[in-house]
A = this chain, B = another copy of it.
Amino acid sequence: MTDGTNETPGAPRVPSGQNAGPNSGPNVTLEEIARAAGVSPSTVSRILNGTARVLPEKQRAVEEAIARFNYRPNVLARSLASGRTETIGVLTQAVSSPFYAEWLRGIEEALAEPGFTPIFVSSRWNVVDEKARLEEFVARRVDGIILLHAQLDEPTLTEYSRYAPMLVLGRSVQNGMALAGLPIDNLQGARDATRHLIEQGHREIAFIAGPSNHEDAIERLDGYRSALEEAGIGFDADLVEQGDYLETGGVAAMERLLARRPSLSAVFCANDQTAYGARLTMFRRGVRVPEDVSLVGFDDLPTSSYMTPPLTTVRQPTYEIGRLAAQGIVQMIRKQPVALSPIPLTLVTRETTRRIGPSLSKGDQRA
């Protein structure tokens, strides 16, 4: 618990770097650098920020002092004085969801370029938490806010957008210059997936839905339904089961489906995690995919292409969406106009779907 590597309490915390002067470390201030270099604090500040040109010799002296003292500007003081934090609050529903991971990566990387730092927090699918996290953003004086699947109502979002420009992913909102939505075309994606199944000859296509209070879950259901109707098959509520976007929900829903409609020939799941669960249930029940039942997911999680067999699903270009969001919020901060068109989704046909005879029923489908 104790060893010689730690500073004496009260003593300045200094690194042991070779160039470390007596007062180096994070406690070195801009003023000390100024004094050491024989210039005024403002000059140091100017050099640090490139705010004005400075005589080369002073420039050198300051840079030398900075290196010698291992000086790092205090971000807090800088932000307090300037009024800018160069920080973007990013609210996810769950940092740990495989689904958000790629979005965050896109956001982080695109934000790094203009020099912004994302602050990731998660609200755990909880509206109360969601509001609390937004309050934190305000308290931290973030320069912008990105919301992934906000559940808060639009008036509330509008209100918070007065503090900092806000971009809402996966949702369409009344766009303003402080509030913008980057909608994702879930309806189209779900319709394409369902059409694909229909084209393959499927007629008895089940759907495992997502949480009914999620905008995108509703859109996906609508897409499924509209493809069915457009093909003249008609919507059959008996073929729809409720899921929760989680694997466990998929397991349970598939069990109910199999019990109620053993004749179904395809299952379309509202997201990949649900499909994973449905897949497990089929494995347990000895239902082969795709020989007995075709399966389609939604999202194209990184692992979906490694499922056995690889999952046919609707791909969301999450990384790219993340980048777009980051670029968008930066533009909003800079008061530049942003044009965000709905993100199109594409079907990725892999190996969980199979063509079946146009009007064959169960008995014949089985390989």
- Residue positions of A touching B, CB distance < 8 A: 1-3, 5-7, 13-17, 25-26, 72-77, 79-80, 85, 94-98, 101-102, 104-105, 108, 117, 119-122, 135-136, 138-141, 158-163, 174-179, 247, 276-277, 279-280, 283, 302-303, 306-310, 337-338
CB<8 Å pairs between A and B, sample of 7: A5-B158, A5-B174, A72-B139, A76-B85, A96-B101, A307-B307, A307-B308
Whether A3 contacts B176 in the complex (CB less than 8 A), given A80-B80, A108-B122, A159-B16, comes out as yes
CB distance from A216 to the nearest CB of B (A): 20
Give the chain B neighbours of A7 by CB distance below 8 A: 162
- In the complex, what distance in Å separates the CA atom of A155 from the CA atom of B229? 67
- The reply to whether B104 and A96 contact each other, CB–CB distance below 8 Å, is yes
- The reply to whether B79 and A1 contact each other, CB–CB distance below 8 Å, is no
- The reply to whether B13 and A162 contact each other, CB–CB distance below 8 Å, is yes
Query: Given A13-B163, A72-B135, A280-B306, 4 other A-B contacts at CB below 8 A?
Result: A72-B138, A72-B139, A117-B121, A120-B120
Give the chain B neighbours of A121 by CB distance below 8 A: 108, 117
Interface centre among A95, A140, A178, A308 (most CB of B within 10 A): A95
Give the chain B neighbours of A95 by CB distance below 8 A: 95, 101, 104-105, 108, 120
Give the chain B neighbours of A279 by CB distance below 8 A: 306, 308
- In the complex, what distance in Å separates the CA atom of A17 from the CA atom of B162? 11
Closest B residue to A4 by beta carbon equals B176
Q: How many copies does the complex hold?
A: 2
- In the complex, what distance in Å separates the CA atom of A3 from the CA atom of B174? 9
Give the chain B neighbours of A308 by CB distance below 8 A: 279-280, 283, 307-308
- The reply to whether A176 and B98 contact each other, CB–CB distance below 8 Å, is no
CB distance from A178 to the nearest CB of B (A): 5
- In the complex, what distance in Å separates the CA atom of A278 from the CA atom of B120? 33
Give the chain B neighbours of A303 by CB distance below 8 A: 98, 247, 276, 303
- The reply to whether B178 and A139 contact each other, CB–CB distance below 8 Å, is no
- In the complex, what distance in Å separates the CA atom of A174 from the CA atom of B80? 38
Give the chain B neighbours of A3 by CB distance below 8 A: 174-177
Give the chain B neighbours of A160 by CB distance below 8 A: 15
- The reply to whether A117 and B136 contact each other, CB–CB distance below 8 Å, is yes
CB distance from A124 to the nearest CB of B (A): 9
- In the complex, what distance in Å separates the CA atom of A1 from the CA atom of B279? 45
Give the chain B neighbours of A302 by CB distance below 8 A: 98, 247
- In the complex, what distance in Å separates the CA atom of A77 from the CA atom of B15? 26
Give the chain B neighbours of A178 by CB distance below 8 A: 5-6
Choose from B6, B141, B337 the contact partner of A76 (Cβ within 8 Å).
B141
Whether A97 contacts B101 in the complex (CB less than 8 A), given A138-B26, A139-B72, A141-B75, comes out as yes
Give the chain B neighbours of A17 by CB distance below 8 A: 159
- The reply to whether A1 and B175 contact each other, CB–CB distance below 8 Å, is yes
- In the complex, what distance in Å separates the CA atom of A80 from the CA atom of B80? 8
- The reply to whether A177 and B2 contact each other, CB–CB distance below 8 Å, is yes
